[in-house]
């Protein structure tokens, strides 16, 4: 009886060690998980082409749920399975995309409280500098760099600095070089 109890206790100690090693601690906004690709989760990327199938699951056997038709659109990778990435867009829609259809090029979508509002793009990272342009919600911009709450963005017909909080595709305190 005593030998059986010792075996049971040793099995439980080993099992709890294995389980505690595989369970992560609490998640905060600045934490990220490193995946089999070696890249952190979550992370932002962009669509590589004008035709990207989004599937219900991470295989070609899964149905195409919808198709993105806008190259450069930012998406957030929230999970990985082999060569598949689960992505979420700025509207909250999620699905699976084959990894080769994604690019590491950083882009962002201009966000506003009201779709009729315009976001000011400044000459410098300073709200007292000249306004270089005013951008509508939904405009996609390439992110060149971000620091101290400001991002330098460019696009067709515009180049300037915008408050980081006006962008979907860059985390709140993220520094982009």
Nearest to 172 by CA among 129, 123, 111: 111
pLDDT tens for each residue of 41-97:
999 999 999 999 999 999 999 999 999 999 999 999 999 999 999 999 999 999 999
- What domains can be seen in the chain, in order of their start residue? 34-105 (2.30.30.40), 108-168 (2.30.30.40)
Pull the structure tokens for residue 17. 């060690």
pLDDT tens for each residue of 146-167:
999 999 999 999 999 999 999 9
Asked if 94 contacts 79 with a C-beta cutoff of 8 angstroms, the reply is: no
């Amino acid at each position: 009886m005593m030998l059986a109890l010792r075996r049971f206790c040793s099995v439980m100690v080993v099992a709890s060690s294995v389980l505690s090693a595989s369970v992560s601690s609490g998640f905060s906004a600045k934490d990220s998980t490193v995946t089999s690709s070696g890249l952190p989760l979550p992370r932002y990327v962009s669509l590589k082409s004008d035709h990207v199938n989004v599937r219900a699951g991470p295989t070609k056997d899964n149905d195409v749920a919808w198709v993105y038709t806008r190259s450069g659109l930012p998406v957030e990778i929230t999970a990985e399975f082999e060569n598949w990435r689960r992505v979420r867009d700025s509207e909250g829609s999620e699905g699976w995309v084959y990894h080769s259809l994604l690019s590491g090029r950083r882009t962002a979508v201009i966000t506003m409280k009201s779709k009729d509002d315009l976001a000011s793009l400044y000459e410098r990272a300073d709200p007292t500098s000249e306004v270089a342009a005013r951008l509508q919600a939904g405009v996609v911009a390439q992110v060149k760099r971000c620091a101290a709450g400001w991002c330098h963005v460019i696009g067709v017909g515009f180049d300037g600095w915008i408050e980081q909080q006006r962008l979907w595709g860059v985390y709140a305190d993220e520094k982009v070089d």
